[in-house]
Amino acid sequence: MRSSPLIRALSRQACRSALARSARRLDEEEMRRPAMVFAPHPDDETLGCGGTILLKRRLDVPVRIVFVTDGSGSHPELLPPEELREVRAREALEASELLGVDASRVHLLGFPDRYLLEHREEAISRVVALLEEHRPEQLFVPYAAGENPDHGSTCLIVHEALRRVNRPVTVFEYAVWSWRYWPHVRRDGALWDPRTWVRNTASTVRGLVRSSAFRTCVNVHEVLAGKRAALARHTSQLERRHGDPRWVTLRDVDGGEFLECFFDGFEFYRRIDFNPRPIS
């Protein structure tokens, strides 16, 4: 027995609304600050902060998007990595354009998907170069805890680059996979099974603890259509290639409920004000 989709949707909306009410909203002055968005894979930029990017670009605020890995590891058993790399690079540029960020402000670092940490020092050096050249006032990076390994690695790499650059900047960490807990998505298994209950309860507690870190949010209701349009450009992540049932998409995750977490009208962030160390 599972809870009904309607009950889950209402529970999810109530939880997200409660988070939004308790979070601090970014004001217009903060929304006008130049930003650099770091996406571990093509699609994370849209899922995590696509609405915020759209709102900034409406204000003509400079935004750059940095795609850290090439995304070639999403379906390696079904498509050669070199071909998938090209597909996802094209999708990244198309989605960025719909977010209002033209190709001249998009950076494809091209590190191998799933193996970013093996290229840690090179990645840090390249991020340092980007920060020194473009001097953004805000950085949007993936949240590290409970996320895909490349998400955690991207977060750590950007923070280390910041320490080396040693200049003030505001960091906003966004969650992607950390939303995979009830009531945001359905519980697994039969509700009456004790082992299932314990597993799901533990997952919910961990998720609630993580979500308590997201004390800043942006209301993106007015740009949700644009966010959906941008995400739709990541076709390889949303549609089965040639109808192949083995080609898993974001729509398959938790029966589609996971994807809806990103279209409830708010984007949540963990805010960190990075202050430089005194130079002795």
Q: Determine the Cα–Cα distance for residues 110 and 125; give it in Å rounded to an integer.
A: 14
- Percentage of the chain with pLDDT > 90? 72
254 or 187: which carries more pLDDT confidence?
254
Binned at pLDDT 50, 70 and 90, residue 218 comes out as: very high
Is residue 80 over pLDDT 70? yes
187 or 120: which carries more pLDDT confidence?
120
Tell me whether strands 63-69 and 106-111 are parallel, antiparallel or unpaired.
parallel
Question: Tokens 């409920």 belong to which residue?
Answer: 257
Are 96 and 103 spatial neighbours (Cβ–Cβ below 8 Å)?
yes
The 10 Å Cβ neighbour count of residue 267 is 27
Write down all domains in the chain, each with its CATH number in brackets: 5-270 (3.40.50.10320)
Is residue 273 over pLDDT 70? yes
For residue 241, with 0-12 CB atoms within 10 Å meaning exposed, 13-18 middle and 19 or more buried, which class applies?
middle
Name residue 96's amino acid. Answer: S
Query: For position 179, what pLDDT does the model report?
Result: 84
Is residue 247 over pLDDT 70? yes
Q: What is the pLDDT of residues 226-236, one digit of tens each?
A: 999 999 999 99
Q: What is the pLDDT of residues 156-203, one digit of tens each?
A: 999 999 999 999 999 999 999 988 876 667 665 555 567 766 666 666
Averaged pLDDT of the chain: 90
Binned at pLDDT 50, 70 and 90, residue 72 comes out as: very high
| DSSP for residue 27 | -
Query: For position 9, what pLDDT does the model report?
Result: 72
Query: Residue 157: CA atoms inside 13 Å, Cβ hemisphere, count?
Result: 32
Q: What is the pLDDT of residues 129-142, one digit of tens each?
A: 999 999 999 999 99
CA quadruple 123, 35, 159, 172: dihedral sign: negative
SS3 120: helix
Binned at pLDDT 50, 70 and 90, residue 1 comes out as: very low
Is residue 68 over pLDDT 60? yes
- Percentage of the chain with pLDDT > 70? 86
